[in-house]
Amino acid sequence: MSVDDRFVRDFREGQEEPLGTRSEIITGPVSDWASDFSHLEPEWAADPYPIQDELRARCPIAHTERFGGGWLPTRYEDVAAIAYDTEHFSSRAIIMSNYRPPRDIAPVGAVPPISSDPPFHHDARKLLLPAFTKKEVAKREEAARAFCHSLIDGFEGAEIVDAARDYAQHIPMRVISDMLGFPPEDGPRFREFVEHALEGVNLPPEQRVANMGELFDYLLEQIRDHVASPRDDLTTYLIEAELYGRKLEPSHVAGTMALLLIAGIDTTWSAIGASLWHLAKTPADRERLVAEPGLLPTAMEEFLRAYAPVTMARLVKEDIHWRGADMKADDWVLVSFPAANRDPAQFDRADEVIIDREINRHAAFGLGIHRCVGSHLARMELRVALEVWLERVPVFGLADPSAVTWAPGQVRGPRTLPLRIG
Amino acid sequence: MKVQIDPARCQGHGRCYDLSPDLFTEDDEGYGQVVGDGVVPPGGERAARVAVSNCPEKAIVLVEEA
Ligand code: HEM
Ligand code: SF4
């Protein structure tokens, strides 16, 4: 047996700093949402829906000069068309920022498969699918449920708890670190990695590079530990996995691990938090779900529709006149699944949360070839988190509505959520 | 009545086998599959329509037999 020496050297050594292009960082109040939008400003983080509704009615594809130029479609039809059109829109970067990676990074990208384009995308994705089926993730339900109970045990005696910080965030962190085989006590570091990747978008480039460096240092440490002592987990699986008859490139192994860590945590944390926020401020829905637990799977889909946490980005491949917008090569497009989910042309009473909505063809997990690989896992976590909460804490409300804060950027959910439970 | 899944459109969201497990199941990668020959048993029409109208990719086809 030959020794796996792919990870002995740091795979980043000797690699040239990828060139790419940088644009000027522009922050500050938005003058006009149709021509200067920014999903990183506090107004958007606090409540993006009226902004999206207004743009959908009057625009419907907004533009900005920020981030070196970008577009924001708000109709379901346009969002779906872009998600399906991998010929004109590339996933080589999916977080809208002031840095565009060089074109030759496609079709693999930094964090496959989310950063990959066809045909490579299909093969990188296929590697992950078997571990994330509904049947496979069901095996983790019992442990997830016990963990949720232990978090609530920790509330003992408290009248006010922070449901985002003390409950929602821990659940996906624990689940994904178990799946990857990372030490559970590293949770707080994951939070930092997530914030750096998704919210630190307008930081100076040197700072962003240093932040990503820390994440990859951590992953390399975990990989080396798994090379030395292989286990039955996703890290060992990725180290052993083969594509086209060869083991994966070290950067592919680490990139996919980074993706699973980032995509697995923030998103589900946001979905759990937003659902609890809704129930805390809507006693009728809370009481109905406590009385009719069988309705939860239906209600959960409605929370995912109305408070869809995830927006993805694409880069325009070549200049194109697209449905009235003059898109230039390398312009960003924000693929706003949240805005699509509130389009009245697609959903009856789109702006209302109807917990027994029976027809709910929402796009919270994306559309087309990049459909969230973790959707079955996320649904299991969300259902279990809400079931345990409602069973243990059937009566709760917002302790201080003005103290609730929401994460800015492409993954949106409550980050501070004080609830009165006593 | 019969249900079919268009494999070119299905992306494995799993709404069909979540909502109507008598008619749909998953393969080893999470893509939807019809159970058996896809013939909807008497009384299963509603479950079939619920699956059709919740599939995000519009991948499920209902074939009404004469
Ligand atoms: C409620 C929670 C979640 C939401 C709303 C969500 C949403 C999304 C969306 C919208 C995409 C499509 C990206 C695109 O079109 O570019 C996506 C992709 C992805 N998600 Fe999730 N996600 C969630 C949880 C998770 C979890 C728990 C994991 C795994 C641990 C995960 C792993 C992934 C991966 C690997 C992809 C890339 C798929 C591909 O490119 O083929 N997600 N997610
Ligand atoms: S709901 Fe649609 S996309 Fe999802 S598995 Fe079923 S057929 Fe496929």
* CB A36, CB A65: distance < 8 Å: yes
Considering the domain B2-63 in this protein, what is its CATH number?
3.30.70.20
Average pLDDT over residues A331-357: 98
Q: Which position has the token pair 């506090």?
A: A42
Domain boundaries, chain A: 3-421
List strand residue ranges (DSSP E) for A227-285, in order: 242-243, 246-247
Nearest-angstrom CA–CA distance, A398 and A127 = 43
Judged by DSSP in three states, A414 sits in strand
Considering the domain A3-421 in this protein, what is its CATH number?
1.10.630.10
Task: Establish whether residue A55 lines the binding site of ligand 1, counting it when its CB lies within 6 angstroms of any ligand atom.
Answer: no
Q: A122 and chain B: CB distance < 8 Å anywhere? A: no
Using one digit for the tens of pLDDT, what is the confidence trace for A359-395? 999 999 999 999 999 999 999 999 999 999 999 999 9
Measure B20 CA to nearest chain A CA, in Å: 13
Question: Nearest CB to A368: which of B11, B28, B29?
Answer: B11
For residue A16, pLDDT beyond 80: no
Instruction: Output the residue whose Cα is nearest ligand 2's atom 8.
Output: B10
Using one digit for the tens of pLDDT, what is the confidence trace for A175-186? 999 999 999 889
ipTM score = 0.96
Any residues with Cβ below 6 Å from ligand 2, and which?
B 5, 10-16, 31-32, 55, 57, 59-60
Residue B49: phi and psi, rounded to 5, are -70, -35
- Count how many Cα atoms sit within 13 Å of the Cα of residue A361 in the half-sphere of its side chain: 22
- Tens digit of pLDDT at every position of chain B (66 positions): 999 999 999 999 999 999 999 999 999 999 999 999 999 999 999 999 999 999 999 999 999 875
* CB A400, CB A418: distance < 8 Å: yes
| More confidently predicted of A339 and A22 | A339
